[in-house]
Amino acid sequence: MPREFADLTSAEVVDQVTGRTVVWPLGAIEQHGPHLPLSVDSLIAEAFAREIADIVDGYTLPVQSIAARSLPQSGGGLSFPGTIHVGGDTLIRFLREALRSLFSLPMARLVVVNGHFENEPFLFEALDQVRQQGFIGDREVFAFSWWSLVQESWLTAEITGFPGWHAEHAGVSETSLMLHLRPDLVTDLRPDHDHPPRAGLYLHPVDVDRISNRGVLSSTSGSSAELGEKLFRHVIDEGVAVLRDRDGNSSANRR
Ligand SMILES: [Zn+2]
């Protein structure tokens, strides 16, 4: 049974999180083409977070869905309706303050699972500011975007013509994960975009029809629930391996 942090009472919370891992999913409300809901990044981050919390007997926080702006080269950008975002400066401040109150609790480890491409630099910046301010102490932090755990060899074996993670927005990996996790929210449309945008560029003005096919930056052909399940298991295995590896190097006794 997954443990939900927010279902605890105030009287229980200190005892329950002592020595344990708390997992915080960070997502987005962002356009994901004509076949996927706005909640993709949040639902995927939440599913990974719950699974990890379950394996390490930790607690999951509610997903944080309103996050960083969508950028054209990695998310289609704000010309597509439905993306609800805050600016990077606001996001850093928000995360920093939320993390400070979280770290006032005696958990042993915080895991942050990110599902939205543009969140990552702001998340890492906020965590490092909080660390520098002394709020983390000797607690462990493991923050990652789920795709960072995917091994190169897995990608080569499972996804043909991989366009880069920035362009996997609403592409094969996210469509497959959604077909595995929430098939009820996926339509039968499978748009392909033959010319995925290049990574690491900021261009203005933006030709929306050139960077994407209706908000899909790469290809959705070949998406399946089976591939989604494989990818889900691969990411979980890699994430748990990182946690166990760190456990092996640490004298702290964690449950
Ligand atoms: Zn996404």
Q: Where are the beta strands (DSSP E) in the chain?
A: 3-4, 21-26, 59-60, 67-68, 85-86, 109-114, 140-145
- What does the pLDDT read at residue 254? 47
**How many residues belong to the chain?**
255
Could you tell me which residues come within 8 angstroms of residue 180 by beta carbon, excluding any fewer than 6 positions away?
225, 226, 227, 228, 229, 231, 232
Tell me what pLDDT residue 68 has.
Answer: 97
Whole-angstrom distance, CA of residue 136 vs CA of residue 232: 29
Report the separation in Å between the CA atom of 103 and the middle of ligand 1, taken as the mean of its atom positions: 28
Identify the pLDDT of residue 112.
Answer: 98
Report whether pLDDT(251) > 70. Answer: no
56 alpha carbon to ligand 1 midpoint, in Å?
26
Instruction: Tell me what pLDDT residue 255 has.
Output: 47
Find the 32 Cα to ligand 1 centroid distance in Å: 6
5 contacts 110 by C-beta, under 8 angstroms: no
What φ, ψ does residue 194 adopt, rounded to 5°? -75, -15
* Residue 52 banded pLDDT, cuts 50, 70, 90: very high
Average pLDDT across the chain, whole number = 95
- Exposure string of 176-205, with b = 16+ CB inside 10 Å and e = fewer, is bbbbbbbeebbeeebbebeebbeeeeeeee
Using the predicted structure, report yes or no on whether residue 252 has a pLDDT greater than 50: no
Distance from Cα 174 to the centre of ligand 1, integer Å: 6
Confidence of residue 51 (pLDDT cuts 50, 70, 90): very high
Rounded to whole angstroms, the Cα distance separating 8 from 181 reads 26
Domains of the chain by range and CATH?
A: 3-151+158-165+236-244 (3.40.50.10310)
pLDDT band at 249 (very low <50, low <70, confident <90, very high): low
Predicted pLDDT of residue 247: 79
At 100, which helix (H) or strand (E)?
Answer: helix 88-102
Q: 21 C-alpha vs ligand 1 centroid, how far in Å?
A: 26
Q: What is the pLDDT of residues 159-180, one digit of tens each?
A: 999 999 999 999 999 999 999 9
Q: What is the DSSP letter of 166?
A: G
Q: How far is the CA of 31 from the centre of ligand 1 (A)?
A: 8
pLDDT of res. 250: 55
Active site residues: 30, 32, 41, 116, 118, 169, 174
Given a cut of 80, whether residue 46 has pLDDT beyond it is yes
Tell me, in angstroms, the distance from the centre of ligand 1 to residue 65's CA: 12
Q: In this structure, is the dihedral angle defined by the CA atoms of residues 142, 157, 175 and 201, taken in order, positive or negative?
A: positive
Task: For 76-129, write each residue's pLDDT tens digit.
Answer: 999 999 999 999 999 999 999 999 999 999 999 999 999 999 999 999 999 999
